[in-house]
Amino acid sequence: MKILHTADWHIGKKLESYTRIEEQTLVLEEICQIADAENVDAVIIAGDLFDTFNPSSEAIEIFYKTLKRLSKQGNRPVVAISGNHDSPDRIETADPLARECGIVFLGYPNSHVTPFRLESGLSVLKSEEGFIEFSIPSVAYPLRVITTPYANEYRMKQALNSEDKEADLRNVLQNNWRRIANKNCDNKGVNILATHLFVIRKGDEPQQEPDDEKPILHVGGAQAIYTSDFPQQAQYVALGHLHRQQIIPSTQHPVVYSGSPLSYSFAEADQQKYVMIVNIEPDNKAQVEAIKLNQGRKLLRITADGMEDAETQLKNKPACLVELTLKTDTFISAKERQHLHQIHDGIVTLIPQLKNRKTENVHHANININKDFKSLFSDYFKHSLGIEPNDNILELLDEVIAQKDLDA
């Protein structure tokens, strides 16, 4: 059996004010092409399907079209669980209709899928809260999926009927997973676990969560889960949340973050993105292959020493989205900003970095409160940054003062 594992699509997410919807459309099309080229038997999407609880109609349309294509007209099961960016109710809204295409949505840790059978032969043989067993037309043995969509710690314990509300979440999850696995996962089928949680090997330092991501490790969230908490019957653990593709060390089975299909912050600059192709047979170790994704504009951090250097570097990287740090003797004028954006259409962030910034006597300046406001502003500006405000800044200050007078 061959399974495609992906996660963290974040459809609708922007890079600051820069829309990524066209790139998302292209990379999801690429994922569909990989699924067909690899002739995969099932697809797992491990959470953060959208970027917000209320995605745009455009984002929703792209999502459903992609899943329909991945389902291969009901011949290939697609399992999509919610992440910490998703609304569980919204994710499950289309489930009755989606099932007709072999697509299963799971919004909650205790979500239950009603068994069904399609004309293609694809069927859910049995299910319970947090578990599904598929019969796939192209495969002689069943696929079992233990599912745990994201929920904060309190809701997770509620969903899993933990009577001890003070119990360690790891113990609650471990006991629930082992109960399901012992009941449903023998060595005559393929057994995997899909979840959207923060996972580390016991004893390792927690990794940094994605920049500009809603963190899981926080008060009211969910604590880190250890690789040793997963049941031994699981031949592969499909994870979502971390945006860099990585395999978490485990002695039992591959525990894998597929990563996001696009770089969604400059902290992810220069990261190669992947989907995971997993070959599994009953009672055998999973074989994992990372397939590169090529669509989407690369993110790049550039530091330039002056305008000339900035122009040269930008012209050499025309297809990237750029965070440009510009070393300058003074602040960047509106004309200079406009010129840089004319050279390169992918400048997302422009950060001026003042050279030779003077900080002497920062805490010892004397203020003459008898001066007019504009003079006081100029004194403060020079005191704080070590240079005089340029004409553009002073003109902007005049506009602010004028507007304030009008409002008064």
Contacts made by residues 18-23, CB under 8 angstroms, sequence distance 24+ = 18/321, 18/346, 18/348, 20/262, 20/264, 20/296, 21/58, 21/59, 21/62, 23/262, 23/295, 23/296, 23/297
Joined tokens for residue 327: 């070393």
Per-residue pLDDT at 338 exceeds 80: yes
318 in Cβ contact with 344 (< 8 Å):
yes
Distance CA 263, CA 210 (A): 10
What pLDDT shows up at residue 219?
41
Phi, psi of 16, rounded to the nearest 5 degrees: 55, -115
Mean pLDDT, rounded, for 389-402? 75
Question: Contact 116/103 with Cβ under 8 angstroms?
Answer: no
Encode pLDDT of 119-152 as tens digits: 999 999 999 999 999 999 989 999 999 999 998 8
Specify the pLDDT at position 234: 96
- Which of 15-19, 82-86, 170-174, 397-401 has the least mean pLDDT? 397-401
* Closest C-alpha to 258, from 44, 99, 75: 44
Alpha-carbon torsion 200, 206, 210, 215, what sign?
positive
Highest mean pLDDT among 32-41, 165-174, 295-304, 324-333: 32-41
Band (pLDDT 50/70/90 cuts) for residue 353 is confident
Q: Are the CB atoms for 5 and 44 separated by under 8 Å? A: yes
The pTM score is 0.83
Q: How confident is the model at residue 191 (pLDDT cuts 50, 70, 90)?
A: very high
CATH number of the domain at 2-293, please?
A: 3.60.21.10
Asked whether the predicted pLDDT for residue 215 surpasses 70, the reply is no
Q: Which residues make up the CATH 3.60.21.10 domain(s) of the chain?
A: 2-293
List helix spans (H) across 160-257: 169-184
Give tens-digit pLDDT for 57-109: 999 999 999 999 999 989 999 999 999 999 999 999 888 889 999 999 999 99
Which tokens belong to 179? Answer: 């109960």
Task: Supply 404's token pair.
Answer: 């304030």
DSSP string of 294-336? --SPPEEEEEEESHHHHHHHHHH-TTSEEEEEEEESSPPPHHH
pLDDT band of 6, cuts 50, 70, 90: very high
CA-to-CA distance for 276 and 6, rounded, in angstroms?
7
- Determine whether 343 is exposed, middle or buried from the number of CB atoms within 10 Å of its CB (0-12, 13-18, 19+): middle
Over the chain, what is the mean pLDDT? Answer: 88
Does residue 12 register a pLDDT over 60? yes
User: What pLDDT, on the 0 to 100 scale, is given for residue 406?
Assistant: 65
Convert the pLDDT of each residue in 291-305 to its tens digit. Answer: 999 999 999 999 999
